[in-house]
Structure 1
Amino acid sequence: MPRYYFDIRYDEGAWSVDPDGMDLIHPTDARRQAVMTAAERAKDAEGRHRRISVRIRDSHPEPLLTVNVPVAAKIRDLEPA
């Protein structure tokens, strides 16, 4: 079973390198995990960061895929006019 690594970056900062990785059956499973990881991190990053990136690596030197999630919160005024 292939091992995938999920590195994380906030905005344009340095990558936080995943040293352990996760065994997954297919690259599609790794993509799904990256999207879920980015979404979870985005919930906690609101107001502090503009973007969360999750880079997927496998046994090859170049990344397999990078998922970018914008973290933008603009809440319209909910009070009646």
Structure 2
Amino acid sequence: MASGGRSEGAIREAGGAFGKLETAREEKYFRDLVKNEKQIGALKKDLDDRVKEKIAKDEPLNENERLSLEAAKQRQVLMKNDGAE
């Protein structure tokens, strides 16, 4: 609860033009969030695929590719540890 005894969504609850504007902003925020998560997932998959291809061809990895490989290894360890509990 915010100061003054009002709830967090006081503007939305009040309705009217400000309530509609707040609702529209909130919906846009969540649409953009989903869109960004999809873009990040696609970029991560592309980088992972390039790293796997370079490893298969025994080519050297650049800094971003090395970081991606290390992150993938850490994710595997975390997933393995989460499953063990």
TM-score normalised by length of structure 1? 0.27
TM-score normalised by length of structure 2? 0.26
Quick one: higher RCO (CA 8 Å, sep 6+), 1 or 2? 1
> Where is the helix percentage greater, Structure 1 or Structure 2?
2
> Where is the strand percentage greater, Structure 1 or Structure 2?
1
The structure number with the bigger radius of gyration is 2
